[in-house]
């Protein structure tokens, strides 16, 4: 029962209700960083990493600090500060200890602070009343779903270089239309929603 | 640091540039998460626009007031605290007075904190400008954003449910294209509107 529930959360946030394509979280980076597969992949890893850690930390704060003292209305302020601090700490930690990861994720980390996917998922965890494990699974699924969508987008945009796009459509407009097609495709998974 | 001389004309310029020339949504393509997510009907779109405008005006004002006291290194966290304070304010106000719009916008009200338009204006303008120009800039950008969101949500509501603000306006027998109020419709509408503006820009540019 418990495991089926976790699986349902994971599949829902990763595919059927994909963070980007159906919940519209983290769109700026989705269009901004998807110009090459390499950077899209790094961005995906960074987002996954930060979302999972932020889900864990914000769950503890929510459960042991905000709820017992009835300060739920401060959720937004507390969570965004936690995320900003966390990103800064992660940045300092990997710069000192894991230079390889630093080379890969370095420039994407600051972008993640203002990525709505991270704050959005922590708020969803709290609003849905997820427990610790469910929060982690939701965070992981969201991160992987983000990576899936952004890598697919980068792949399609790579192909687009050889396509003849009308002048008025070049740049952003065609990207949005690709997004529309992808959202339509992911919409087809809607029937798989496990309840 | 250059501060523009203070007069009515510059105030008007700061105000109007956000509406057309530097429209945050259609020209700069910033803050697209709420633009696509909540624009399923015109009243949701308007609610989002007004909430964002409120936050923009007050955060610009306060960031401009504290701009000379804040040390450069910690300015981003301080801006975030100021912005999220006003977001919390607007969230509580909306929950009290317009509960159904608050319900419909859901998670996207707290997410105004991470709307790139607000952080962008704070960083690029309000932290370097005097109070009045900063307020004018915030108001202009907010109205530009509200107009953009209203256009998108108007189009989606008319085609997707055949109504505007809840009133039937399409001819009888019109069957609504439900796809327009589902997620793919948001991307399609935004893409086509951006394409339209780019096309107009190209046409006008060629004439000159």
Q: Specify if A89 maps to a domain.
A: yes
In angstroms, rounded to a whole number, what is the distance separating the alpha carbons of residues A91 and A111? 12
In angstroms, rounded to a whole number, what is the distance separating the alpha carbons of residues B136 and A120? 30
Q: Which of B94-103, B105-114, B165-174 has the lowest mean pLDDT?
A: B165-174
Q: Say if the Cβ atoms of B187 and A171 lie within 8 Å.
A: no
Please name the member of B31, B114, B192 whose beta carbon is closest to the beta carbon of A119.
B114
| Min distance B27 CA to chain A CA atoms (Å) | 10
Task: Categorize the per-residue pLDDT at A57 as very low, low, confident or very high, splitting at 50, 70 and 90.
Answer: very high
Chain B environment of A27 (Cβ under 8 Å): 32-33, 36
Q: Which of A77-81, B33-37, B90-94 has the lowest mean pLDDT?
A: B33-37
Q: Specify if A83 maps to a domain.
A: yes
Q: Specify if A192 maps to a domain.
A: no
Q: Say if the Cβ atoms of A169 and B198 lie within 8 Å.
A: yes
pLDDT of residue A96: 86
Mean pLDDT throughout B182-200?
Answer: 90
pLDDT of residue B168: 80
Work out how many CB contacts closer than 8 A connect A with B.
116
Q: Say if the Cβ atoms of A80 and B192 lie within 8 Å.
A: no
In the numeric block, which tokens belong to residue B57? 């005006």
Buried b / exposed e over A66-102, threshold 16 CB at 10 Å, is beeeeeeebbbbbbbbbbbebbeebbeebeeeeeebb
In angstroms, rounded to a whole number, what is the distance separating the alpha carbons of residues B89 and B54? 10
> Is B77:A88 a contact under the CB 8 Å cutoff?
no
Range of the domain at A95: 2-187
Q: Specify if A73 maps to a domain.
A: yes
Task: Categorize the per-residue pLDDT at B208 as very low, low, confident or very high, splitting at 50, 70 and 90.
Answer: very low
pLDDT of residue A123: 92
Report the number of distinct structural domains present in chain A. Answer: 1
Better pLDDT: B129 or B206: B129
Q: Specify if A195 maps to a domain.
A: no
Mean pLDDT throughout B23-41?
Answer: 85
Q: Where are the domains of chain B?
A: 10-198
pTM above 0.90, yes or no: no
Q: Specify if A141 maps to a domain.
A: yes
| Min distance A103 CA to chain B CA atoms (Å) | 23
pLDDT tens digits for A127-171? 988 999 999 999 999 999 999 999 999 999 989 888 888 888 888
Better pLDDT: B71 or A28: B71
Please state the ipTM of this predicted complex. Answer: 0.86
């Amino acid at each position: 029962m418990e495991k089926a529930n976790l699986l349902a959360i994971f599949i829902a946030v990763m595919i059927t209700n994909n963070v980007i394509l159906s919940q519209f979280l983290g769109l700026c980076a989705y269009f901004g960083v998807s110009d090459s597969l390499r950077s899209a992949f790094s961005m995906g890893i960074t987002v996954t990493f930060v979302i999972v850690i932020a889900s864990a930390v914000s769950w503890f704060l929510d459960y042991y600090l905000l709820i017992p003292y009835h300060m739920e209305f401060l959720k937004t302020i507390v969570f965004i500060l936690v995320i900003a601090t966390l990103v800064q700490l992660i940045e300092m930690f990997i710069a000192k200890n894991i230079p390889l990861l630093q080379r890969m994720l370095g420039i994407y980390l600051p972008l993640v602070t203002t990525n709505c996917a991270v704050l959005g998922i922590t708020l969803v965890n709290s609003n849905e009343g997820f427990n610790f494990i469910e929060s982690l699974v939701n965070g992981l699924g969201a991160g992987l779903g983000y990576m899936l969508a952004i890598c697919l987008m980068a792949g399609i945009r790579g192909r687009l270089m050889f396509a003849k796009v009308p002048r008025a459509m070049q740049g952003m407009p065609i990207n949005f239309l690709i997004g529309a097609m992808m959202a339509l495709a992911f919409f087809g998974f809607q029937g798989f929603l496990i309840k | 640091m250059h501060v523009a001389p203070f007069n009515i004309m510059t105030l008007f310029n700061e105000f109007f540039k956000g509406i057309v020339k530097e429209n945050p949504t259609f020209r700069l393509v910033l803050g697209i998460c709420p633009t696509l997510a909540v624009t399923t009907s015109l009243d949701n779109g308007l609610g989002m626009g007004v909430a964002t405008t409120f936050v923009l005006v007050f955060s610009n004002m306060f960031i401009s007031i504290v701009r000379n006291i804040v040390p450069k290194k910690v300015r981003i966290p301080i801006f975030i605290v100021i912005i999220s304070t006003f977001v919390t304010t607007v969230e509580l106000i909306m929950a009290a007075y317009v509960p159904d719009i608050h319900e419909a916008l859901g998670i996207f009200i707290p997410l105004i904190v991470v709307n790139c338009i607000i952080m962008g204006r704070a960083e690029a303008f309000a932290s370097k400008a005097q109070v009045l120009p900063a307020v004018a800039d915030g108001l202009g950008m907010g109205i530009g954003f509200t107009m953009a969101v209203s256009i998108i949500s108007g189009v989606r509501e008319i085609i997707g449910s055949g109504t505007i603000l809840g009133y039937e306006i399409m001819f009888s027998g019109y069957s609504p294209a439900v796809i327009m109020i589902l997620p793919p419709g948001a991307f399609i509408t935004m893409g086509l509107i951006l394409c339209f503006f780019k096309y107009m820009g190209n046409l006008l540019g060629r004439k000159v």
